[in-house]
Structure 1
Amino acid sequence: MNRSKSNWLLVALAAFALTACSGSEEQTTAKAAPVNFATGDECHVCGMVITNFPGPKGQAITEKDQHVRKFCSTRDMFAWALQPENVNRNHTLYVHDMAETEWASPDDIALIDAREAFYVVGSNRKGAMGPTLASFAAKAEAEKFAMEYGGETMAFPEITMDHLNSGMAMHSMGGMDH
């Protein structure tokens, strides 16, 4: 085989290998779809029945095994996601867009990417465990909510454990009144 034919063959094989790798990589990094909350689902953090309470809920889907963890509130989802063993992992996270659903009983059609959402921290609206973070797809909707119910509008990366702990007593039962 002459040199130009062998070089062409090597280039063709390299292109094939890169295409094959790229295709399988896309399959493994595809974003998992949100999962509906069902009657009887329990919160991964506190064990409470999720659908018994008002306010936005959250869920995390692990990349490696596609295991779904559901949370009775956005606060519990953040408490889990911000743990040292989870914070640097790229879990798929979803929350309810509260501009598109009712506070008393959020509709799963309104689940959005939690990392792209805006949150109102410190409002007077209660979730499953008392104070929670109201979640919105649009910053303008979050700001409108904050004007009506108090609190501060923040993007996902701005939220820390300090925000969860200040004014949000862990597992207070204040949110049980609908």
Structure 2
Amino acid sequence: MNTFKPNLLVLLMTLLLAVLLSACSKNDEVVQSLHDAVAIESADECHLCGMLISNFSGPKGELFRKGLTQAEGNSVKKFCSTRDMFSFYLDPENKRNVTTMLVHDMSKSPWETPKDQYFIDAHSAWFVAGSIKTGAMGKTLASFSKQKDAQAFAAEFGGKVIDFTQVDLSVLM
């Protein structure tokens, strides 16, 4: 005799559907937290040091923080160099509030005048630390979308190829 009741089956199916929808909504949150790059205007100042961003060569950075909206006008923090962006980000108070970090892909953009259409997600970027190329604040992290491009840059200009997880304060010194 089958003691399994249809109501129990409906309940189990509802719970399974709820779990699946919950997993989908978490993925949607990740996608929604990513932002498009904001153009660097000639009057934009570095959030960390206050220097005019467009006056300097080398890769720039942008980051977005939780809870700040476009309407408030403060959703993006722009930086004159990847070094300044990481210096800001690595502060524990800032790190936990960042949703998106963008850097220039220097395999596609000229060093002297990086182009805004070549911003990439910093979390998936490759960096060259310690090269002879400089940015706004002197030594900076050259950023690339592909490891092979970072390796070619390091072969030409020196430095060590690292990924996002290896960037810490010692690398910035």
Same fold judged by TM-score > 0.5?
yes
Q: Distance in 2 between matches of 1:5 and 1:90?
A: 47
Question: Segments of 4+ in structure 1 off by > 6 A?
Answer: none
Question: What 5-or-longer segments of structure 1 have no aligned partner?
Answer: 166-178
Q: Deviations over 1:22-64 (max 9, x none)?
A: 4543433212222222222211111112112111001111244
Determine if the alignment matches structure 1 residue 7 to structure 2 residue 8.
yes
2:40–2:116: 8 Å Cα contact kept in structure 1? Answer: yes
Asked if residue 37 in structure 1 is aligned to residue 40 in structure 2, the reply is: yes
Output aligned runs, 1:10-159, within 5 Å.
Answer: 10-18=11-19, 20-30=21-31, 31-65=34-68, 67-88=75-96, 91-159=99-167
Cα RMSD over matched residues?
A: 2.2
SS of the residue corresponding to residue 76 of structure 1 reads: helix
Gaps of 5+ in 2: 70-74
8 Å CA contact 2:129–2:161 kept in 1: the answer is yes
Q: Identity of paired residues, percent? A: 39
- Of stretches 58-67 and 108-117 in structure 1, the one that deviates more from structure 2 is 58-67
Deviations 1:140-177 (A, max 9, x none): 11121112212211111112101212xxxxxxxxxxxx
TM-score by length of 1: 0.81
d(CA) in 2 for partners of 1:160, 1:5: 57
**Count of residue pairs brought into register by the alignment:** 164
